[in-house]
Amino acid sequence: MAADNRNVCRRVRRRRLVNITLLALSALGLLAAALPAAAVLTPAQRESVHCLGCHTGNAKHFTNPETGAKKDVLVDIHSKRDSDHAKVPCQDCHVEGFNGFPHEDVKIKGCMDCHPRQDAAGAKEDAPFNFPRIEREFRTSVHFTELKDKFNKDEDFITGIHFTITKTGDGFPCSQCHHPHYMKTAAELGAPGSILETHNKWCTSCHAAEPEQPVNTILGVAWSDVTDPAEPSLVAEHASLPHAAQHLQSARCVDCHSGTEHANSHELFLGSNTPGCESCHTRDSALSELYRYVKNDPAGGFTNSAILKDSYIMGATRYLLLDILGYVLLGGALLAAASYSFLRLIRRRRRHGDRGSKDE
Amino acid sequence: MSEPRPEVPAYVRLWHALTALLFISLVISGFVLHYSSPEFTLLDYGLATDLHDISGIALAVLYILYLIYIVGTGYWREYVPLLSGLGKRLLEQIRIYIADMDQNDTIAADKEKPRFNALQQLTYLIVIFGLLPLLIVTGLIYLYYPDYTPARVLDLAGLWPVALAHYALGILGTLYLITHVYMAVSGRKASARFKLMVTGRAGSDKK
């Protein structure tokens, strides 16, 4: 009897164990099925997870054992995942020297090592930017011409356009403005306010009265080579502009200080050598580049109505009906004056002619 | 014989000359500010801006001084037409101008007659007490933007009504300038009215 009872207990326990096991496996299966595909990491992503372990989370500082310089190594992962390089794994750019710690003899790819991309989809995406033209234009700009000796064309893996990034952080790579971790194209930013804020931050991080300490973006090294801070302030530097403060609030630095032929022109003009007021204060305004992702509404009767949502620009945001009225009124007045003068001339000649024949 | 009309007062002639120069400067610089393009510009844009601002402020000061003068001396009455029969006199004057300006363009030398005909009086009244002050006020608001304009009007940048008003008044002012200069050189002698506003004496406009 007792033996029978023990057997029954064993069978019940076994059945219970089987049930629990089956339940657990079913739950795991359901869970796995519910997981989105992205939760399953690719090999490249798994490699990146190794980097994120140190480069995300709580604040961390690395102290260079040789120089004693402190460096912030945190990557803002949320901004990175919101950027144009969201899906680019760390190792695609950080190609050598990063497997071990501390990272030694590192090599990082430059922007031009990938762009323009060679695969069909990437090439199609990169085509509108015209990276060869960007490089040509950059080479004419002061950021290149003033720092020519910092360039080393022989490096295979470089940061920026054929730069050697030295430990002192000299040089002006693409990443000085276009942070590879966080950059977003103007199309991604969309709103003129966001584009303006982002693009101006690139310039004012160095060219301001008290710039945030100019930092080489890659090495995070203080860079003291900036020779053109705005003294005593940006507004004072632009005092030759009427309503200088409004100009600086409403337009990007590059709207005046770069070429107007292309939306992403990298021709940077020195100082006052700018295209001129007429480039914006005209119907075909250069400022419309900032608003290229905002639809114009011709129904309101204004030209450049997208710009008018933020600013009235003399010469650019015109009320067409008033222009036409002006042409008609003033043109009509001149025509009427000319016609009437002609008529009076004829009358006078006739009158003189009549008098002359009467005298005879 | 009726008493000859006194000269056009010196201050009026001076005001007229300065206002004319400033207004021409405003019209030209205003044209540059509104119609320039990288392909075509009559004048450097920055220079046009400074010229327009300085001329506008000078015109505003001159206008206030002139207002004080004409109110103080009573000269403002020259610009006010008699209301009685005004419509009829206006139509008659328009008919005279259209039919044959040469026949009836003698400058009234007699003190008993109004200095200006009804059409002139009405035009000057509108220009001096309507158009000019509105142009000046809208121009000053425009100059001192954004202090005196709302941030937004009809969900657009708030400067647009003032800017449009200033531009429209500028068109009317330019229209007046064209008409005024044309009328000034009309007559048997083109220089007669110019002589009047320079020397102050009517002289003879008969050839």
Query: What's the full length of chain A, in residues?
Result: 360
**pLDDT, position B166:** 97
* Per-residue tokens: B201: 């004496």
Q: Quick check: A330 contacting B, CB < 8 Å?
A: yes
Nearest chain B residue to A246, by CA: B146
* Optimal mutation site among A256, A260, A261, A282, interface B, most CBs of chain B within 10 A: A282
Compare CB distances from A312 to B45, B157, B172 and report the shortest one's residue.
B157
Classify burial at A2, counting beta carbons within 10 Å of its beta carbon; exposed 0-12, middle 13-18, buried 19 or more. Answer: exposed
Structure-model confidence comparison of residues B96 and B121, the more confident one: B121
Compare CB distances from A279 to B38, B100, B156 and report the shortest one's residue.
B38
* Optimal mutation site among B169, B171, B179, B185, interface A, most CBs of chain A within 10 A: B171
End-to-end, the C-alpha distance of chain B in Å comes to: 23
Residue closest to A80 by CA, chosen among A180, A227, A199, A189: A180
- Identify each DSSP E strand in B87-193 by its residue range: 152-153, 156-157
Task: Kindly report, residue by residue over A151-174, the tens digit of the pLDDT.
Answer: 555 444 444 444 444 444 456 778
Question: How far is A109 from A91, CA to CA, in rounded Å?
Answer: 10
The percentage of chain B sitting over the pLDDT mark of 90, rounded to a whole number, equals 49
Task: Kindly report, residue by residue over A233-289, the tens digit of the pLDDT.
Answer: 888 888 888 888 889 989 999 998 888 788 889 988 876 788 889 999 999 999 999
What residues of chain A, 236 to 295, have a C-beta less than 8 Å from chain B?
Answer: 240, 242-243, 246, 275-279, 281-284
Residue closest to A201 by CA, chosen among A187, A192, A212, A191: A212
Structure-model confidence comparison of residues A146 and A274, the more confident one: A274
Asked if B45's CB is within 8 angstroms of A278's CB, the reply is: yes
Task: Kindly report, residue by residue over A173-183, the tens digit of the pLDDT.
Answer: 787 788 889 99
Mean pLDDT of A89-94: 87
Residue with tokens 């103080």: B72
The pLDDT mean for chain A works out to 79
User: Beta-carbon neighbour count of residue B37 at 10 Å?
Assistant: 14
Asked if B33's CB is within 8 angstroms of A281's CB, the reply is: yes
Pick from A18-22, A216-220, B50-54 the range whose average pLDDT is largest.
Answer: B50-54
* Per-residue tokens: A220: 């995070």
CA dist A336 to A315, A343, B28, Å?
28, 10, 21
**pLDDT, position A10:** 79
**pLDDT, position B63:** 95
Task: Kindly report, residue by residue over A198-216, the tens digit of the pLDDT.
Answer: 999 888 877 876 666 555 5
* Per-residue tokens: A94: 């950080």
Least confident of A156-165, B60-69, B106-115, B193-202: A156-165
Q: Provide the 3-class DSSP secondary structure of residue A7.
A: helix
Query: How close does chain A come to B170, measured CA to CA in Å?
Result: 9
Amino acid occupying residue B99: A
**pLDDT, position B33:** 95
A298: chain B residues, CB-CB within 8 Å: none
**pLDDT, position A157:** 40
Nearest chain A residue to B149, by CA: A312
CA dist A182 to A41, B94, B163, B198, Å?
22, 73, 41, 71
The pLDDT mean for chain B works out to 86
**pLDDT, position A358:** 60
Per-residue exposure over A132-169, b if at least 16 CB sit within 10 Å of its own CB, e if not: eebbebbbebebbeeeeebbeeeeeebbbbbbbbeeeb
**pLDDT, position A235:** 87
Residue closest to B191 by CA, chosen among B207, B172, B171: B207
Query: How close does chain B come to A323, measured CA to CA in Å?
Result: 9
Nearest chain A residue to B41, by CA: A278
Residue B145 has pLDDT above 80, yes or no: no
* Per-residue tokens: A125: 């995406």
| Binding-site residues on chain B for chain A (CB distance < 8 A) | 33-38, 41, 45-46, 49, 53, 100-102, 145-146, 155-157, 159-160, 163-164, 167-168, 171-172, 174-175, 178-179, 182, 186
Nearest chain B residue to A314, by CA: B34
Question: How far is A336 from A328, CA to CA, in rounded Å?
Answer: 11
Structure-model confidence comparison of residues B157 and A213, the more confident one: B157
* Residue A360's pLDDT band (cuts 50, 70, 90): low
Query: How close does chain B come to A277, measured CA to CA in Å?
Result: 6
Structure-model confidence comparison of residues A340 and B18, the more confident one: B18
Question: How far is A359 from A14, CA to CA, in rounded Å?
Answer: 146
Q: Quick check: A309 contacting B, CB < 8 Å?
A: yes
Asked if B33's CB is within 8 angstroms of A315's CB, the reply is: yes
Mean pLDDT of A55-61: 77
Mean pLDDT of A41-56: 75
* Optimal mutation site among A246, A278, A335, A351, interface B, most CBs of chain B within 10 A: A278
B145: chain A residues, CB-CB within 8 Å: 243, 246
Classify burial at A93, counting beta carbons within 10 Å of its beta carbon; exposed 0-12, middle 13-18, buried 19 or more. Answer: buried
Beta-carbon pairs below 8 A across chains A and B: 86
A302: chain B residues, CB-CB within 8 Å: 156, 160
State the complex-level ipTM.
0.87
**pLDDT, position B128:** 94
**pLDDT, position B154:** 92
Residue closest to A94 by CA, chosen among A86, A81, A84, A104: A104
Residue B207 has pLDDT above 50, yes or no: no
What's the CA dihedral at A186, A189, A190, A193 to 10 degrees? -100
The percentage of chain A sitting over the pLDDT mark of 70, rounded to a whole number, equals 79
Least confident of A50-54, B106-110, B167-171: B106-110
